[in-house]
Amino acid sequence: MAIRTLWLVIIASAGFVDPSLTVVSLWVVLSLAFVVYLVPLIILYRKEDWYLTIEVTVTGFFIFI
């Protein structure tokens, strides 16, 4: 979770400092961050065995924003 939070802070701060550094708008980043934080929690309570796989996969998708 710390890696996702760090990337979110970096992307959001880059968007505020120099908006030309980000390819997508901040609303897209925030909405994707909401999904990235929410999906592993849902998986944790439904299919506990899949949690680690989903956590790593979703974090990887978030880094490629």
DSSP labels, the chain: -HHHHHHHHHHHHHHHH-GGG-SS-HHHHHHHHHHHHHHHHHHHHH-GGGHHHHHHHHHHHHHT-
User: What domain range includes position 8?
Assistant: 2-63
Question: Which tokens hold the place of 35?
Answer: 């999904």
Sorted by sequence, the CB contacts under 8 Å of residue 48 that are 6+ apart come out as: none
Q: What is the pLDDT of residue 64?
A: 66
* pLDDT tens readout for residues 1-46: 677 778 778 777 877 787 777 777 777 777 888 888 888 888 888 9
**Number of folded domains that form the chain:** 1
pLDDT class of 51 with cuts at 50, 70, 90: confident
What was the pLDDT predicted at 63?
67
How far apart, in whole angstroms, are the C-alpha atoms of residue 26 and residue 4? Answer: 15
For the whole model, what pTM was predicted?
0.61
